[in-house]
Amino acid sequence: MRLALRHFCVFLSLTSTLAVAGCATSETDPAQGSNAGFPLTIQNCGHAVTIAAPPQRAVSLNQGSTEILLSLGLADRLAGTATWTDPVRADLAEANATVPRLADNKPSFEVVLGAEPDFVSASFGGTLGPGGVAERDRFTQLGVPTYLSPTDCDGKSAVSVNSDGARTEPLRIDSVYTEIRQLAAIFDVEERGEALIASLRQRLEAATATAGAHAASTIAFWFSDLRTPYMAGCCGSSGIITNSVGAKNVFADTTDEWPQVSWETVADRDPAVLVLADLSRRTIEGDALESKIAFLRSHPVTSRMTAVREQRFVVVNGADLNPSLRTVDGVEKLAAALAQWGPVR
């Protein structure tokens, strides 16, 4: 019955915005409360997004967005997830196991629609935008509201493709908090959102208590690619991590989030610490941690670098270097390593 109603609503949504609103409210679960404050309109990355009622069948298209929704206790309202780079956080594994995975990577538009979503969220414009699953307007035409993480819009002149591109302003952790707060409002669980933000703030405060001791420490972040490595620039999630621990990114003069540079350039800047992303995906050389370390130790240029000679490697998940609540995980891992080594340069 619900499937038939959903298809009927999709048809009506193409011809009448009033029908869209009527269909959206017809499936509201009384157990979710009175839905006071709805319909709710949020300004999101240049779009005015109107939510008729708290979503009951959401689809999240990136791991970062999924982990926020799971952290808000919304597994029972997720109809599907997709585009994973790493295993889910351990504390979310049980809840995540109850949610259908539509695809490990980018699903087709048809697969997403097959989950009968009443809301679609994503972390990156490369997923919910040109060249991605679909542009936001296609979902809007079917009466399905969409949400894109503000971390991929704030401080940018254009929406990026998977957080590559340049930023006009450094990303701030407040953008992550905004995403949490807005998603909590959309799902009518504001108190859970504030509790999650408070927990992240507390963890950051604890991890950065000794930040002043690491001002002399020089760091580089290597995401992937053996031949022409993607090294973090100044202003993305890695910038939050670096600034939080009080260290210096040797590529802080680069506004691109993940510029590709030569190994000679990296060696010339000679970071004392290398943050290495261990990616679960295996799409290009240098995704896996083992391949990174083997390369660094055997290459005639990289083997002479201070971080390699001293074996000062900090291992993080790929997701830790994407703007999300995982950014706090990255801060904690780097802070713990620096506390062990002390100031290094």
pLDDT of residue 28: 38
Residue 211 has pLDDT above 80, yes or no: no
202, 235, 250 — which closes off a domain?
A: 202
Is residue 31 domain-shared with residue 167, that is, in the same domain? yes
pLDDT of residue 10: 42
Per DSSP (E only), the strands in 90-239 are: 101-103, 119-122, 146-148, 218-224, 230-231
| pLDDT tens, position by position, 100-124 | 999 999 999 999 999 999 999 999 9
Is residue 324 domain-shared with residue 238, that is, in the same domain? yes
pLDDT of residue 286: 87
Is residue 112 domain-shared with residue 258, that is, in the same domain? no
- Mean pLDDT score across all residues of the chain: 88
Is residue 197 domain-shared with residue 216, that is, in the same domain? no
172, 202, 232 — which closes off a domain?
A: 202
pLDDT of residue 15: 33
pLDDT of residue 79: 98
Can you name the residues that pair with 44 across neighbouring β-strands?
A: 47
Burial track 108-119 (b if 16+ CB lie within 10 A, e otherwise) = eeeebbebbbbb
146 pLDDT band, cuts 50/70/90, is: very high
Q: Which residue has the tokens 């969220």?
A: 121
Task: Give the C-alpha separation, 41 to 283, whole Å.
Answer: 39
202, 231, 260 — which closes off a domain?
A: 202
| pLDDT tens, position by position, 298-344 | 999 999 999 999 999 999 999 999 999 999 999 999 999 998 887 77
Residue 51 has pLDDT above 50, yes or no: yes
Is residue 26 domain-shared with residue 168, that is, in the same domain? yes
**275 within 8 A of 220, measured Cβ to Cβ:** yes
213 pLDDT band, cuts 50/70/90, is: low
Task: Give the C-alpha separation, 24 to 34, whole Å.
Answer: 14
Is residue 158 domain-shared with residue 251, that is, in the same domain? no
Task: Give the C-alpha separation, 135 to 140, whole Å.
Answer: 9
Residue 32 has pLDDT above 70, yes or no: no
pLDDT of residue 158: 57
Is pLDDT larger for residue 80 or for residue 3? 80
Is pLDDT larger for residue 36 or for residue 180? 180
